[in-house]
Amino acid sequence: MNFQLTQEQEMLVEAVRSFVAKELLPHEEAVDRADAVSPELAAHIRGKAIAAGFYAFNMPEEVGGGGLDYLSQALIERELSKVSWALHVFVARPSKILMACKDEQINDYLLPCVQGEKTDCFALTEPGAGSDANAIKTRAVRQGDDFVINGSKHFISHAGHADFAIVFAVTDTYEHNGRKRNAVTAFLVDRGTPGMTIRRGPKCVSNRGYHTYELFFDDCRVPASKVLGEVDKGWEVANAWLTAGRVMVAANCVGQAQRALDLSLQWAADRKQFGQAIGSYQGVSFKLADMATQIRAAEMLTLHTAWKMDQGSMTDGEAGMAKLFASEVLGKVADEAVQIFGGMGLMDEGPVERIWRNARIERIWEGTSEIQRHIIARELLRPLLR
């Protein structure tokens, strides 16, 4: 197997690394303290990302995106995540599900998202339906040429910045293995559509400045032309994208863990106690060795999984393994980084406390660790269970 990155990939990594250092990192502390990104800063980052050619790097070339393979995308995600989501979210990766756009949706939603003129948000989770997404209760009922949506969503990232939401609603039910299942449809719902209200959600400990919102639908009427993909086939469009997204989350975790290690190494070399650098004590240096080893393993697993996705041979279980392992490694590494920093690791004067807080969400969103284990185990046992 060839583990060598291409020259283009090496250059891409270098370019994103310097973009993060120059355009994003200088703002991280202030954004975290203010728990907000000003519209001017958001527009500035978006403009710089477009100029640098990073904007919509996840989208295919034929719609104006980066046209990159998954391995290259994972490398970019790894570098971007060395700063908080609150900032690198403006180097937008439009929901890949938008590739299901057809007819006028292409000019109204897909292309403006790729060009930085519009932003989407992905609205699936509800108060009663998190891990069990099939339990969503938001309904869309056909009335002539329209659908009328009623229900609510919560935890919807970035909805306050979004021009439209990709909303999942039940449009039918059917029986599967004796259980009632929901047939779900995805809708493109513009901000300002009568009947949809958006409210800021509770404050989150991770990624301050990157907020979640609650969406309420009260007889919200949208024309049938706003159906994304096919009616009742919402899971088909969502699932392909969600699985790939887990590998990118894994790459984000590797980048955050690497940042925590780099900071810890420097601190262990600089901080003196009992007359010596604390890194010279085995109690600290062995932590560093374990952190580096775990990060290397998470990185290899993540990049190999991205490579498999490029070959068309990645399974859901493999995507789950990458997300599970990398997010759990990040949790351990971030915690050890705090330990190595001692009291300073908990103070908001340095980035370690932020990395530790931000790390926590990674084991929850895009499918919790327990759900990843469920996906992996199901895939392992499927051929054996009858």
Ligand X SMILES: Cc1cc2nc3c(=O)[nH]c(=O)nc-3n(C[C@H](O)[C@H](O)[C@H](O)COP(=O)(O)OP(=O)(O)OC[C@H]3O[C@@H](n4cnc5c(N)ncnc54)[C@H](O)[C@@H]3O)c2cc1C
Give the catalytic positions in this structure: 366
The one-letter code for the residue type at 61 is: E
Q: Quote the tokens at residue 353.
A: 């406390």
Helix/strand/coil for 85:
helix
Question: Residue for token digits 């051929």?
Answer: 383
Question: Residues 130, 212: contact at Cβ < 8 Å?
Answer: no
Nearer to ligand X, 8 or 236 (CB): 236
Nearer to ligand X, 125 or 327 (CB): 125
* Residue partners of 322: CB distance under 8 A and separation at least 6: 246, 247, 250, 301, 302, 305
Closest CA to 361 of 225, 188, 212: 212
Q: Which residue ranges make up the site for ligand X (CB under 6 A)? A: 122-125, 130-131, 155-157, 204, 212, 361, 364-365, 367-368, 370-371, 374
Burial class from Cβ neighbours inside 10 Å (0-12, 13-18, 19+) for residue 37 reads: buried
Nearer to ligand X, 167 or 288 (CB): 167
Task: Please report how close the Cβ of residue 194 comes to ligand X at its closest, in angstroms.
Answer: 23
Task: Please report how close the Cβ of residue 153 comes to ligand X at its closest, in angstroms.
Answer: 7
Nearer to ligand X, 124 or 340 (CB): 124
Task: Please report how close the Cβ of residue 127 comes to ligand X at its closest, in angstroms.
Answer: 8
Closest CA to 365 of 336, 332, 330: 330
| Residues shown for the chain | 386
Helix/strand/coil for 222:
strand
Task: Please report how close the Cβ of residue 246 comes to ligand X at its closest, in angstroms.
Answer: 11
Query: DSSP label at 44?
Result: H
Nearer to ligand X, 216 or 281 (CB): 216
Question: Residues 234, 185: contact at Cβ < 8 Å?
Answer: yes
Question: Residues 138, 126: contact at Cβ < 8 Å?
Answer: yes
Q: Closest-CB residue for ligand X?
A: 130
Task: Please report how close the Cβ of residue 262 comes to ligand X at its closest, in angstroms.
Answer: 25
